[in-house]
Chains A and B, each alone.
Chain A
Amino acid sequence: MALFTLENISVAYNKQNILQDFNLEIEEGKFISLLGPSGCGKTTTLRLIAGFLESNNGKFLYKGKDYTKVPVNKRNFGFVFQNYALFPHLTIFDNVAFGLRLRKASKSEIEKKVASVLEIVNLSGFEKRYPKELSGGQRQRVAIARALVIEPDLLLFDEPLSNLDANLRENMRIEIRRIQQELGITTVYVSHDQEECFAISDQVAIMNKGIIEQLSDPATIYNYPKTKFVADFIGFKNFIDFEDQKIHENEIELTKSGFTFIVQKNKANTSTDGKTGAIRPDNIVIRPLKESVTAGKNELPGKVKIRTYLGRSYQFIVETPIGDFTINQELLVPYQVGEEVILEFPANNMVLVK
């Protein structure tokens, strides 16, 4: 059974719906990320779970109990903020002890728990310092310790790494994952950074305009996006809107303006309702156009329109009869702008999306 459930939740702000009939179930001990562009409702969802926001409609169930009307301070959820939100007037020790003192823990218990949680986040010895004396990464670890020490039933992160620089961000996300797995705390994590979410989550929910477009483990989302939005969001830059499809035993045959494409059936390409083909720039093969060769199945003739250098590879924008395509390829001798080429779309690399 799910640990907590959001049931038909609606949230409106200034008469604008941010979430409408939103549903989400999280199982105990799982690390789930809400990922999406700004304004997709991910932070709203998180703040609703935390209790900072009230829903207009719907229910929030925790362990089967109705938590919809339970105020923030009675929920026992840990929240980690983007800007750390440490108490500037308190030492690190007192910051971390804040929640324990409210729970009327004894002095010796507080000392023991604070010491052990500071050890978990590698900040032993910082007890007497003030937040302003710490670096951004250290502050965020204090914030995590402060949320952990109350032994929360649920740990919530609101873009906790976006104020840190790139190197630190990578280290911190490994830290967060390690701590979460060590303690087995159910975690909801909000971010707009795809790599970050994929790296640390058991499950990722891709959100768009207040709904979840897809909820799966990271690898499934990465390889088999279900909708055009998800595909676009995770880097499938090329889309073909097919006109017709025929389902065969192991493959699906699609056509567009007289060109034929074969797509292998797989985990994602089983349903017949997806008629848009999506393919990553890395997966299209670009070949020189030789005379007497015409484009066959899964092939398109084209002309290089723009060429840019990405460091590891070149990126080409190629003009074809059915639109422009973006291709990344590692090449020693790049194609020139204006050169005629053939694009090949491998049958096992194209995904059909809604």
Chain B
Amino acid sequence: MKEKNRGLAVFTFLVFVFLLGPLLIISVTSFEGGSVLKFPIETFSFKWYENIFKVSMFLTTFKTSIIVSLAGNLLALLLGVPAAYALSRFNFKGKAVLNAVFISPILIPGIVLGFTFLRYIVTTYQLPIYAGLFIGHTIIMLPFVIRVVSSSLSTFDFSIEEAAHSLGASKIGTFIQVVLPNIKSGIIAAVMIAFLESFNNVDISVFMTGPGVSTFPIQMLTYVETYFDPTVAAISVLLMIITAFFMFIVERLMGLSYFTKR
């Protein structure tokens, strides 16, 4: 019995090393003083962190990413919250099919989705780059919004809706005054998860970006192609911190059990 437990402990340890090792190495290398990425570091410095703010393309693309993610997020909410509500509240024909359609952007490989967007949004309809990015990112965020909001609606007692009705509230009034406040934490969690999904996205954006307009992760890729200094490592560390912070809030609001549910 004891022997078996030790084996399991070693295995668990190895999994953690495998998962967290690269993150640790990246974090360490970001503090390298020289101009070449190396591990372990030879001198210690913050200069590559400073360099992030010196490269103007990082700032420009960061703004682009923020705008696309926030605007897409807003649209995904406007579409996703009512959709999640309808899917949870009502029984209708084709509900299972609709559910599957809404989830499909998670299941379809990003590269396939990206190529499809390129084929239609960019080639056929020749939409401007910003519009294309906006549409593409809305579509990849939508399933996350629907999933997270649905899971918070699954514990919602719809009889309080009837209670509000009987007290004189209209249908829309009930939704705003009773339903929304009770799924508030789900909506905030949805916003954060969708934001991270969009902000970190490469495989869709790579097809949608063009001359002059790029997103932050794409700019990172471009940078690595030309320079081999630790700037990207420094960016990675910052992104990790932001992501961890967001996930901490989501965990506080809803619990991460959402990710283990299917």
Do A and B truly interact? yes
Q: Does A60 contact B (CB under 8 A)?
A: no
Query: How many residues from A make CB contacts under 8 Å with B?
Result: 26
Among the listed stretches A17-25, A79-87, A290-298, which one makes contact with chain B, having 4 or more residues with CB under 8 Å of it? A79-87
Would B168 and A83 count as touching, CB distance under 8 A? no
Q: Does B124 contact A (CB under 8 A)?
A: no
Expressed in whole angstroms, the Cα–Cα distance for A146 and B168 within the complex equals 12
**Residues of A contacting B162 with CB < 8 Å?**
52, 72, 79, 81, 85
Q: What is A's interface to B at a CB cutoff of 8 Å?
A: 50-52, 72-79, 81, 83, 85-89, 98-99, 102-103, 143, 146-147, 150
Would B160 and A85 count as touching, CB distance under 8 A? yes
Contact of B159 among A51, A74, A83 (CB under 8 A): A83
Would A79 and B160 count as touching, CB distance under 8 A? no
Contact of A150 among B164, B167, B181 (CB under 8 A): B167
Give chain B nearest CB distance to A156 CB in angstroms.
Answer: 8
Would A85 and B168 count as touching, CB distance under 8 A? no
Contact of A103 among B159, B166, B168 (CB under 8 A): B168
B158: nearest residue on chain A (CB-CB)? A85
Give chain A nearest CB distance to B2 CB in angstroms.
Answer: 45
**Residues of B contacting A143 with CB < 8 Å?**
163
Which B167-195 residues have C-beta < 8 A from chain A? 167-170, 173, 178, 181-182, 184
Expressed in whole angstroms, the Cα–Cα distance for A83 and B156 within the complex equals 13
Q: What is B's interface to A at a CB cutoff of 8 Å?
A: 157, 159-160, 162-170, 173, 178, 181-182, 184
A158: nearest residue on chain B (CB-CB)? B159
Given A50-B166, A73-B170, A150-B167; 16 other pairs, CB 8 A cutoff: A51-B166, A52-B162, A72-B165, A72-B166, A74-B168, A76-B168, A81-B163, A85-B162, A86-B160, A86-B163, A87-B163, A87-B178, A88-B160, A99-B167, A102-B167, A147-B166
Main secondary structure of the interface of B (DSSP, over half): helix
Of B159, B167, B181, the most chain A CB neighbours within 10 A belong to: B167
Would B159 and A99 count as touching, CB distance under 8 A? no
3 closest cross-chain pairs (CB), A and B: A99-B167, A79-B166, A85-B163
In the complex with contacts A87-B178, A88-B182, A150-B168 CB distance below 8 A? yes
Give chain A nearest CB distance to B107 CB in angstroms.
Answer: 33
**Residues of A contacting B167 with CB < 8 Å?**
73, 98-99, 102, 146-147, 150
In the complex with contacts A87-B178, A89-B181, A89-B182, A73-B157 CB distance below 8 A? no
Would A79 and B163 count as touching, CB distance under 8 A? yes
Expressed in whole angstroms, the Cα–Cα distance for A140 and B164 within the complex equals 16
B162: nearest residue on chain A (CB-CB)? A52
B166: nearest residue on chain A (CB-CB)? A79
**Residues of B contacting A79 with CB < 8 Å?**
162-163, 166
Give chain A nearest CB distance to B100 CB in angstroms.
Answer: 25
**Residues of A contacting B181 with CB < 8 Å?**
89
**Residues of A contacting B166 with CB < 8 Å?**
50-52, 72-73, 75, 77-79, 147
Would B159 and A98 count as touching, CB distance under 8 A? no
In the complex with contacts A88-B182, A89-B182, A73-B168 CB distance below 8 A? yes
Give chain A nearest CB distance to B153 CB in angstroms.
Answer: 14
Give chain B nearest CB distance to A94 CB in angstroms.
Answer: 10
A152: nearest residue on chain B (CB-CB)? B166
Instruction: Give me 19 A-to-B residue pairs in the complex whose CB atoms sit less than 8 angstroms apart, sorted by A's number.
Output: A50-B166, A72-B166, A73-B165, A76-B168, A81-B162, A85-B159, A85-B162, A86-B160, A87-B164, A87-B182, A88-B182, A89-B181, A89-B184, A98-B164, A99-B167, A99-B168, A102-B167, A103-B168, A147-B166
Of B162, B165, B168, the most chain A CB neighbours within 10 A belong to: B168
Expressed in whole angstroms, the Cα–Cα distance for A77 and B173 within the complex equals 18
Give chain A nearest CB distance to B32 CB in angstroms.
Answer: 51
**Residues of A contacting B159 with CB < 8 Å?**
81, 83, 85
Give chain B nearest CB distance to A185 CB in angstroms.
Answer: 14
Expressed in whole angstroms, the Cα–Cα distance for A86 and B163 within the complex equals 8
Give chain A nearest CB distance to B150 CB in angstroms.
Answer: 19
In the complex with contacts A87-B178, A88-B182, A89-B181, A102-B168 CB distance below 8 A? yes
Expressed in whole angstroms, the Cα–Cα distance for A73 and B161 within the complex equals 11
**Residues of A contacting B157 with CB < 8 Å?**
83, 85
**Residues of B contacting A76 with CB < 8 Å?**
168
